């Protein structure tokens, strides 16, 4: 049996609306098309893992229980749309902390691999910032830059394998069997 394949997906600006250091669960709002895109990725056989930098923890803008409520709210909104994620991996450190887990470093992916048993090079990485694209390169995975969130700002300056409008476009690309060209 082949190992499972996973989509490693950024949270803010990719699945939910970008909010400057989102600290209020009531402000969690799915991006248009996010749930259908995730649902289609699941139908294509991908597990769904969220990989997110959350320096607001280290900055004191919110604490871990508040972050857990934010993620519970996001999970509830996705569940209404028939989507469940397999895990959420969070880097709580400041950008200059030199930790192993802040994207684009692969520490969060290593945690996910230990828990889910997949080959990171067979994953896809999806996000709206260069750190997401660079994470894909760090683990030798196919990277997608979405134009949601901050994606439009980085469209011309990243080395993403594929640039698309949003999560449904990622699923459409992969559903068109273009993935075989990368692997």
Q: Check if 10 is active-site.
A: yes
Helix/strand/coil for 88:
strand
Quote the CA–CA distance of 110 and 4 in Å, as a whole number. 15
86 is catalytic: no
Active site residues: 10, 12
């Amino acid at each position: 049996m082949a190992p499972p394949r996973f989509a490693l997906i950024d949270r803010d600006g990719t699945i939910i609306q970008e909010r400057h250091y989102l600290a209020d669960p009531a402000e969690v709002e799915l991006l248009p098309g996010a749930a259908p895109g995730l649902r289609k990725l699941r139908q294509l056989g991908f597990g769904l893992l969220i990989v997110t930098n959350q320096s607001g923890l280290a900055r004191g803008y919110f604490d871990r229980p508040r972050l857990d409520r934010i993620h519970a709210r996001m999970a509830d909104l996705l569940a209404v749309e028939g989507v469940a994620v397999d895990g959420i991996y969070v880097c709580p450190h400041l950008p200059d902390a030199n930790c192993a887990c802040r994207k684009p470093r692969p520490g969060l992916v290593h945690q996910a691999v230990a828990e889910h048993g997949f080959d990171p090079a067979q994953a896809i990485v999806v996000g709206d910032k260069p750190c997401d694209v660079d994470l894909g390169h760090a683990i030798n995975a196919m990277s997608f830059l979405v134009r949601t969130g901050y994606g439009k700002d980085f469209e011309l300056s990243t080395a993403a394998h594929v640039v698309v409008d949003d999560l449904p476009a990622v699923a459409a690309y992969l559903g068109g069997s273009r993935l075989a060209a990368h692997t």
